[in-house]
Amino acid sequence: MLAQQVQIKPIQRNAGVRMIAPTVRKSVKVCAAQPKRVYNFSAGPAMLPMDVLQKAQADLIDWQGSGMSIMEMSHRGKEFDSVIKRAEADLRKLLNIPLNYKVLFLQGGASTQFSMIPLNLAKEGDVVDYVVTGSWSKKAFDEGKKFCKANLACKGNNKSVPAIDSWKLSADAKYVHYCDNETIQGVEFKSAPNVKATLIADMSSNFCSKPVDVSKYGLIYAGAQKNVGPAGLTIAIIREDLIGKARPSTPTMLDYKIHADNDSMYNTPPCWSIYMCGLVFEKLLSLGGLEAVQKINEEKAAVLYNTISGSNGFYNSPVDPAVRSLMNVPFTIPSKPDLEKVFIKEAGKLDLIQLKGHRSVGGMRASIYNAMPLEGVQKLAAFMKEFAAKNQ
């Protein structure tokens, strides 16, 4: 990184307010060389593709000759209209979203969906089913209980998914909610569970990591900040017949119909996040779509799981091999748990960062979303082998 002396032009007096004293010389860091990049295994917000960041950087001050940043322009202008429409069209292509589904760009994080879903899809006394396989589906269940008769149809042990024929599904459930990938425990469904009621999936941490048959779902939702963009945007893909059924007391901002009828612009949408997700969707399409993306993700995950299983028990993955996540790989050092802190510290020195497991479960966790390159995973695997050999 090269620090250069840059002459900042003095800003003129503006309506009587002096914004910056004239003739200020400031030392500004200008990135002339390759910027420093680490391999960031954070569970989210997480890495974004380098070329997407560079494109955003190039567009930052003047988006396509508009003389404005995306962050500065009206969401109702023709420029942003083209951004949001393109983002939606590309997402539709990626996930092959049927025409009878709406794509909504929302705020409030995936957590807001936990209450939005029961408020829109069930009345107070209605029965709804929740499948709990980890921390996030448990949170959704706890929120659902506030609004209707939420039935705990299945409670996993945070390491596996109980066989579907053991689930206690209700005959009259308005929906079945589950989490397709438990970010904290690293438990991932390998296909959509086959249920009669309307299926709802939290796909926050594996959204766009593999192809999905959207037609099996009533609603899919995901926070953007893991696989497809920065924080601030939640994407909901909802079948049209489920829209327009909110309870009368539902706050306006929590009614899917309001967002659907206004093309996600009832109020100011998270413009920057939508723009960034649009760039990511474009990139995923250019890679060959989600089949190609899945292959890369499988390869990356195999590198880590093989390192764990080839470590002679030095490392352990607590998760049933049948449902190990391609996105979040938790692991421990079972015989010497005190070494886990050392592992995380030493990895950090090699620019392998954010490997600490979630505070509720401990151990380590490597989140390897779409934007984590294979080289990052290989570097982590090499370090794991070296660390094990040194400490076995």
Enzyme catalytic residues: 136, 202, 226
Q: Which residue is nearest to ligand PMP (CB)?
A: 109
CB of 189 to ligand PMP, least distance (A): 12
Which of 131, 225, 234, 122 has the alpha carbon at shortest distance from 179? 131
Count of residues touching ligand PMP (by CB under 6 A): 11
CA–CA separation, 197 and 183 (whole Å): 25
CA–CA separation, 79 and 152 (whole Å): 46
Interface map 209-248 toward ligand PMP (x if CB under 6 A): --------------x-------------------------
Stretch that binds ligand PMP, among 14-22, 148-156, 199-207, 258-266 (CB under 6 A): 199-207
Nearer to ligand PMP, 218 or 388 (CB): 218
CB of 104 to ligand PMP, least distance (A): 15
Nearer to ligand PMP, 187 or 388 (CB): 187
Q: Which of residues 81-140 bind ligand PMP (CB under 6 A)?
A: 109-111, 136
CB of 238 to ligand PMP, least distance (A): 17
CB of 204 to ligand PMP, least distance (A): 4
Nearer to ligand PMP, 182 or 333 (CB): 182
CB 4 within 8 A of CB 25: no
Please report which residue ranges of the chain form alpha helices under DSSP H. Answer: 50-59, 78-95, 109-121, 135-144, 256-261, 271-286, 289-309, 339-349, 374-391
Task: Find the binder of ligand PMP among 204, 250, 297, 307 (CB under 6 A).
Answer: 204
Instruction: Quote the tokens at residue 367.
Output: 């989140």
Instruction: Quote the tokens at residue 275.
Output: 């723009």
Task: Find the binder of ligand PMP among 115, 120, 183, 367 (CB under 6 A).
Answer: 183
Interaction of residue 363 with ligand PMP, rule CB under 6 A: no
Which of 165, 213, 219, 160 has the alpha carbon at shortest distance from 188? 160
Q: Which amino acid is at 1?
A: M
How many helices (H) and strands (E) the chain has is answered by: 9, 15
Which of 2, 340, 216, 262 has the alpha carbon at shortest distance from 106? 262
Binding site for ligand PMP (CB under 6 A): 44, 109-111, 136, 179, 183, 202, 204-205, 223
